[in-house]
Structure 1
Amino acid sequence: MTKEKVIIIAVKQQEQPLEQFNSSLEELVSLTDTAGGVVKQVMTQNRNHIHPAFYIGTGKIQEIKREIEAHEIDLVISNDELSPGQLRNLEGHFNVRVIDRSQLILDIFASRAKTKEGKLQVELAQLEYNLPRLRGRGIQLSRLGGGIGTRGPGETKLETDQRYIRQRIHDIKRRLTLADKQRHLYRQRRKRNDVFQIAIVGYTNAGKSTLFNQLTDSASLQEDKLFATLDPLTRQIRLPSGMNALVTDTVGFIQDLPTTLIAAFQSTLEEVTEADFILHVIDGSHPNMEQHQDTVHLHLKKLGAEQIPVLTVYNKKDKFTEDLIPMAQPAIIISAYESEDLKNLLLKIEAVLKQIWEPFTIALEPDQGSLLNRILHETIVVEKQFNEQSNEYILSGYMREDSPLNRIKGDTKT
């Protein structure tokens, strides 16, 4: 398959730090590669303000036109989100398709969505993004399925009649509301069963899916590509003490994630807010590690998940070029491929929980087998012995303050 030839254009505004600007460009190149394009040229311009009609200055437009012709470019991608007018004007000057960063990310999500709900969420985000940008764009948006930035979930072709799109948006929202209700019931059932829930979050391509697979012996998609995982997966694991937990692998975050995408995936992202514990995975070998960490913290705050206990996992230590000093605590440095590191990670999770959970000692009669089993699998038991004199099992450990077992603890011998 022939890759589309791409020119990336970007405006650096005066107040934007150079390091942040360069980081966003590197990321856009990676996003383009993930979408199946090859970047032939990156063209930048320093400006005090974005040009309201053209995004870039008119002189720069002529320079870019010459590069488009010289390299036979198929697509121009803007580093910033473009207004409908800017898109129309640039396409009119360049005579090739123009998309922006948001549309590129939506396109990648469209190609990654696998579940029915995931495809609907991406389609909704694409339609809401494209609706105000249809007027005057002619055949460029007459259908989805013709190259980077035009793909729909499953390569579905959609007419761009505005009335049709508005009706389609209404229909998708209705179907997603039903799916959200089903997920809410599922989450309620998990809460009733008092299953401890861990969410793996992090910047895209930090190694979340690799870690998830290694911990759960699962087979979710893991690639050295941005947004390799889109649909959340949940599997059960057992911690060293014997406590059961559910682990969920979530979609990777990224700076400047399109607002339509965040809105469409709100119900999926709620998997994070429902978690009891968060593993924040960071690619410790990435030069922009600190910025990635800040971006994830910002997204967690927007989701209202900043109060959930977090263990920061600095991953990919096999790629480190120098010693890493953790920027956040509690933290652990690992390689997701090292079995010893995985064992240490599970032990570290328990160590963190012991610091925030309540200690307990419970005495149980031999005929209380069901309760004994619950305590062994729902709490961190550090000591278990049988007292022959009193004919009782004595268990010591740690449990959540809001655990239903706390009520039982108060009614038993301690």
Structure 2
Amino acid sequence: MRAWDRPALPEVPGRSEPPLLWDSATGGLVPAAPGGDVATLYVCGITPYDATHLGHAATYIAFDTLQRVWRDAGFEVRYAQNVTDVDDPLLERAARDGVDWRELARTEVDGYRADMAALSVIPPDAFVAVTDIVGPIGGAVAELVARGLAYAVPAPEASDDGVDVYFDATAAADVSPWALGAESGLDRERMLPLFAERGGDPDREGKRDRLDPLLWRAARPGEPSWPSPVGEGRPGWHIECAVIALDELGEEITVQAGGSDLLFPHHEFSSGHAAALTGRPFARVNAHAGMVAYRGEKMSKSLGNLVKVSELVGRGVDPRAIRLAVLAHRYRDDWEWTDAGLAEAEARLAAWRTAPVTGGEEGELFELREALHHDLDTPRALAAVDAAVARGGLSPELRAAVHLLLGVQL
């Protein structure tokens, strides 16, 4: 699948250090560095049934910043992202609106591309629609069944006596370097309500464990489906990301990333599926961006309290100001989008753009790089640039660094 055009990335004298990132699994800062010269990144993508909102944008800008620091540190970056272009929310929205689910997905993916390009987000090297890799996913599910790490559950409502296939989390933990709860730090009591809230089916009869997740959904009348070694049907949610990451990035990736609402169950089980398939830990670092609220509640499609990137740009808001408004918050904190925050970002952008060109001072680039080295501390990075402006202006080197590392071309 086509992504979007890559923004220009200037050269800047010197190098960043490989960044330290907060790892959800260990609960501390760890080096986000590959074993070799190529840093690999998997960031969970969209389910394309509505326009990109600021919650999405904050996640993609956060890990775009990681990409930029890696590149400045001299690493080659290989980045993959999925598009969940067949899933219950998409099918339900298409049915509600009386449109074909494939056309709805195409329209929303086009909008997402435009939003990411406007925000100067570096595109993934592999931008993969689930509908394009159903075959490999079905093969991976069959492999898990053959290894005794997945099992069938009767699905009376399915077409042609099909069965749903579930991951056996207990069996997988016995034979792979993965254990349920190791990444999220949650116990079963806290897992169960989140599992039910976020697409799981803890009360499904026939499951071996209430927390076992769906790998393959047998075909139902009126739903899209594909042939596979485990029967006609379509993929479960978590297995799609595991297969895409393994196919595109290799058996162990540097960073698995996404919003904090994906930590459990999605990332927990994506890691479990990958580890069960390879016998290796999935990611060196598991990093998560905080949630963005609006008018007192987490921004979400279900609540409808969305601030959409396309609508802000359509009103004439400079996308660079949107990016600065996001970068004013530490990526892993929860925060709230406000008009005042956007106004502050617009004022900052104007000050930076009109700052005189100066010779600069020794240490300015170091201050910017050091802030981003320490867990992508973008508020501190912005403050470093503000301080340079207050001292009299921005050097050509610092302007180039703002462009490369913060994604804001002045």
Alignment TM class, shorter chain as reference: under 0.3
* TM-score normalised by L of structure 1: 0.23
- Looking at both structures, which has the greater relative contact order when contacts are Cα pairs under 8 Å and sequence separation is at least 6? 2
- The structure whose residues are more often strand, as a share, is 1
- Higher gyration radius (CA): 1
* TM-score normalised by L of structure 2: 0.23
